[in-house]
Amino acid sequence: MRVAILGIGALGCLLGAHLEPVADVVLLGHWPAQLAALRRDGLRLEHPDGRHSHHRLAVADDPAAAGRANVVLVAVKSRQTPDAARAAERLLGPDGLALTLQNGLNNRAALRAVLGEARVALGVTAQGATTLAPGVVRHAGHGPTYLGRDAALGPAQRDCLSEIATLFGRAGFETALVDDADGLAWGKLVANAAINPLTALLRVPNGFLLEHAALVAIMRQTAAEVAAVAERQGIALPEGDAGERAIAVARGTAANRSSMLQDVERGTLTEIDAICGAVVRAGRAAGVATPLNSRLASLVAQVESGNPPVAPGDVAGLIRQLDPAMR
């Protein structure tokens, strides 16, 4: 199977390193330093157990140089999804499949707007990865991956999805096919909304949040807002309390620096609009108040504009900023 991975950040490189032994893989992206490092030195992957491995990966910055693919894995930032959709259109034949493994909401819809419903599937992965330097990625933690066997998929695409699930398993990723991935995507959104903005604002790893009762309370309320919006829309989340799930994710990824924090540290735009911003818009449409998600979105937007509202590690300052939304 020919697999094209759109995105050469941490997740794209992690997928490429694991899939390369079992499939014909090419990575596509535009980050100059990463492209140069991968072409010159290959990928150095640090595993959760401390081992290191080296991988020579095919990389390109133009779909025309990559050739046709059976499956396109979309691992770019949400703001780049429209461009990824157009790249996937050039890479895929009529029977091809685009599979989004991105954070946030509405990526599947953006891909379908270009590729059609029959050629786009939704995936949800708990695999964690961090870029340490160009060409160097840490596999921060294992977790299950779910691929949605959507009723809108065409017969050929359903076969592709089954084949990619098998390849993921052979590559060492715990993978399952599910009939509806929407609830799982919202379940991941619960954790992303509760954890990522706080880590980005404070410039701290996930586990830091659990050391402060006030931050844990903010995580719980933020997660509860996401769950309330999902419930109003008739979306069934994975079982269990939303706040407890977010806390469990933070505990299980304590050493990880969230993707939003990594974006802030690099000085690039974050995915806050596709995470908390998307919750706010969905809540407004459904008549559900989301004051904490709204405030977190505003504060992270301040960071993006070069005007951070709090100093790194200033928990008390951040709580003052968020207190009105907690009432």
Question: Which tokens sit at 312?
Answer: 């790194």
Give the separation between CA 128 and CA 240, rounded to whole angstroms: 22
Average pLDDT value for residue range 17-35:
96
Asked if 283 contacts 269 with a C-beta cutoff of 8 angstroms, the reply is no
Q: Which CATH class is domain 183-326?
A: mainly alpha
Asked if 315 contacts 206 with a C-beta cutoff of 8 angstroms, the reply is no
Assess whether pLDDT exceeds 80 at residue 113. Answer: yes
Per-domain residue ranges for the chain? 2-179, 183-326
Give 193-242 pLDDT, tens digit per residue.
999 999 999 999 999 999 999 999 999 999 999 999 999 999 989 878 99
Percent of the chain with pLDDT over 70: 100
Of 188, 212, 245, 257, the catalytic one is: 188
Average pLDDT value for residue range 124-148:
92
- Count of C-beta atoms within a 10 Å radius of residue 308: 17
Give the separation between CA 302 and CA 256, rounded to whole angstroms: 23
Amino acid at 180: D
Assess whether pLDDT exceeds 70 at residue 327. Answer: no
Q: What is the pLDDT of residue 141?
A: 79
Q: What is the pLDDT of residue 187?
A: 93
Give 145-170 pLDDT, tens digit per residue.
999 999 999 999 999 999 999 999 99
Q: What is the pLDDT of residue 324?
A: 87
pLDDT, mean over the chain: 95
Percent of the chain with pLDDT over 90: 88
Residue 188 a catalytic site member: yes
Give the separation between CA 286 and CA 235, rounded to whole angstroms: 12
Please state which CATH number belongs to domain 2-179: 3.40.50.720
